[in-house]
Chain A
């Protein structure tokens, strides 16, 4: 039953992504396509924290660090190797290694709870400060100047594999992003169904009990944290393809937003955070167009009300409502 449901959900996600990839480029204009790609990249980012926080029980305040590292690794790689296809593995490798290193320090140092939050936040701030101060010409990696506050506006987009002269069109990048999102969703489902995933959830439920049963809690936490880091890096790569990389990717505002998306969508769910990310970005964009009202005010109020009114998040709350109606 459980297995069939997961397979059904994964199939549905892939199908929905395929339909979106086929249909949306036909009806949307270029500007909206690029925006939709940004939304999709952010949904991947939300998914990464949904996995780490919702299932691993690790509240990471620095998911933006891996997002930024992925973006920068892609930009630097792409400017250096020419064929941007080869920048994709670089964009995955750098944040993965960073997440593994940070996770090792935290989990093997037995740091938990709010202290972990502070360490992840601090690492993000260090990266932000560092990248922000690389405006001088001496800061370059190969052919890529880091650009400091400016970021790297000339980030080249992905090209047709093996043909560096032909960059993908925005429509094609949108399709790539959707494929990444669907792929990550299915991957999360697979992980959660595996033995590894079950142990991770068990640790979230009761760390002491899991370790008394003989599992190396540190190793499992490190594993899920690293996977989440890689996924955030992928999101950064996609984002670099439709906007460009700049230090704001490492900012406190981004780290906070990711947590908000997951929170609103529902901690401990996968689909909810994806929807949460899309909804809140749409809300931000809409609020920005209101003439006399500051967008921060609206976002802030929505967040406060959401925490008070639907503390479990959208997906569990809606599912609960449906179930109640079905029951006699």
Chain B
């Protein structure tokens, strides 16, 4: 309800240049573009809830630089082409101060050039494969050097050296599988198989048999989305779950752990920069407030995707406070002065050189439709992107660098 009234209030957005004191009470436009329907809504809905919650908190505390925030959420319906259309709308029609948008890497690469072209600040708030080097874009989620680098040695120590990778067939899966390969080799292991699956594949029978023939010690799943859930199901049905342990870079990003029964899910190990089960006072306080606000419709937050949206909004807000303006360049410069936010997942610090974040990373195990945190790695830097990107040196970069991994 609150959101609707704000929306109405935001109807008369003034051009950003006209920020006279007289217009001080005009709301600042924040646009969110996340899938609230279609196959990706399992990720999108909690992200939207967290984005709205962060904005409401800021408004309840008096807004930013004396102005309230007004959120507009667009639903691209899991359709990449709608992402570009809504991004264009956010930049040219709504004249948004910031756009928090995108779930899959495909959607990010669709909107990033649009927002760059129309000079609109962009925040991408999920874990992804790393390497985006663009002064207009801030990526607040964790990247392979932060999660995969911890996950692989953790499970190799536990179970063995032979890894079989199953990955979703698009840029996230392709690049992440390279990282998995790199970290496996560095830890003295061996990749005994690598298969890619388009996002609509539901029959994993042949794949399960191939895995059995390869006899790996560990199965690494980089699978994404609703259709790929059937892999975990068929894996358990074939009786493989008790024989070969499974690790995933993606499971738990949405509600996968809720959809799977304990027999199918329990024991799968994942790494993210947040889990709802993280046991800190800050997180408990956040969850209590979140639940009080949303009541029965409180979504399960799972891994980091939704939480990073909350952190992303707060980091941006800190940038605006420091800049005392919503002018794009001023906010970027303020954010590059070393902004950090201590929130439910611990301390998040923006890295000025890469526009990525230094975060705490957690390794956890699926247990009874939730997670149990096993190990914590405080303050991990985004070293993968740091090795290929320096926005201080090349401020005009607008690219995604694929880290060259010798495979």
Contact = CB atoms under 8 A, between A and B. Distances in A.
A and B touch in the complex (CB under 8 A): yes
Interface of A: 29-31, 34-35, 129, 132-133, 135-137, 147-151, 153-154, 243-244, 246, 248, 288, 294-295
A133 B169 CA distance: 6
B227 to A, nearest CB: 13
A153 B171 contact: no
A244 B92 contact: no
A149 B80 CA distance: 10
A30 B198 contact: no
Interface in B74-110: 75, 77, 79-82, 84-85, 88-89, 92-93, 105-106, 109-110
Contact of A243 (B37, B84, B92): B84
A150 B198 CA distance: 12
A136 B174 CA distance: 6
B105 A133 contact: no
A135 B169 contact: yes
B198 A132 contact: yes
B169 A132 contact: yes
A153 B110 CA distance: 5
A55 B119 CA distance: 48
Interface residues of B, number: 28
Contacts of A136: 174, 196
A7 to B, nearest CB: 38
B89 A31 contact: yes
B80 A133 contact: no
Contacts of B81: 243-244, 246, 248
B85 A153 contact: no
A132 B84 CA distance: 19
B32 interface: no
Contacts, number: 73
19 contacts: A30-B92, A133-B169, A133-B198, A135-B171, A135-B173, A135-B174, A135-B196, A137-B174, A137-B402, A148-B170, A148-B171, A149-B169, A151-B80, A151-B106, A154-B113, A244-B110, A248-B79, A294-B37, A295-B77
A71 to B, nearest CB: 11
Given A30-B88, A246-B80, A246-B81, A149 B93 contact: no
Interface of B: 37, 75, 77, 79-82, 84-85, 88-89, 92-93, 105-106, 109-110, 112-113, 169-171, 173-174, 196, 198-199, 402
A31 B93 contact: yes
A36 to B, nearest CB: 12
Contacts of A29: 92-93
B130 to A, nearest CB: 15
A111 to B, nearest CB: 28
A34 B84 CA distance: 11
A147 B170 CA distance: 8
A133 B196 contact: yes
| A-B pairs with lowest CB-CB distance, top 3 | A149-B170, A150-B106, A30-B92
A242 B402 CA distance: 27
B110 A30 contact: no
A248 B106 CA distance: 13
Given A34-B88, A133-B196, A149-B106, 13 more contacts: A30-B92, A132-B198, A133-B169, A136-B174, A136-B196, A148-B169, A148-B174, A149-B198, A150-B80, A150-B170, A150-B171, A151-B80, A243-B81
B282 to A, nearest CB: 34
B93 A30 contact: yes
A225 B106 CA distance: 34
B406 to A, nearest CB: 14
B397 to A, nearest CB: 14
A116 to B, nearest CB: 26
Given A135-B196, A288-B77, A150 B109 contact: yes
Nearest to B170: A149
A70 B394 CA distance: 36
A31 B92 contact: yes
Contacts of A137: 174, 402
Nearest to A129: B198
Contacts of B106: 149-151, 246
Contacts of A294: 37
A34 B90 CA distance: 13
A150 B169 CA distance: 10
A135 B170 contact: yes
A236 to B, nearest CB: 13
A295 B78 CA distance: 13
Nearest to A246: B80
Contacts of B93: 29-31
Given A29-B92, A133-B169, A150 B85 contact: no
A133 B199 CA distance: 10
Contacts of A248: 79-81
A153 B92 CA distance: 19
A41 B95 CA distance: 27
A22 to B, nearest CB: 21
Contacts of B84: 153, 243-244
Contacts of B110: 150-151, 153, 244
Contacts of B89: 31
A31 B112 CA distance: 17
Contacts of B196: 133, 135-136
- A135, A288, A294, most chain B CB atoms within 10 A: A135
Contacts of B174: 135-137, 148
Contacts of A151: 80, 106, 110
Contacts of B80: 150-151, 246, 248
Contacts of B79: 248
B54 to A, nearest CB: 22
B119 to A, nearest CB: 13
Nearest to A155: B113
Contact of B199 (A147, A149, A153): A149
Nearest to B77: A288
Contacts of A243: 81, 84-85
A288 B256 CA distance: 27
B206 to A, nearest CB: 16
A148 B170 CA distance: 6
Nearest to B173: A135
A239 B79 CA distance: 15
Nearest to B199: A149
Nearest to A150: B106
A283 to B, nearest CB: 15
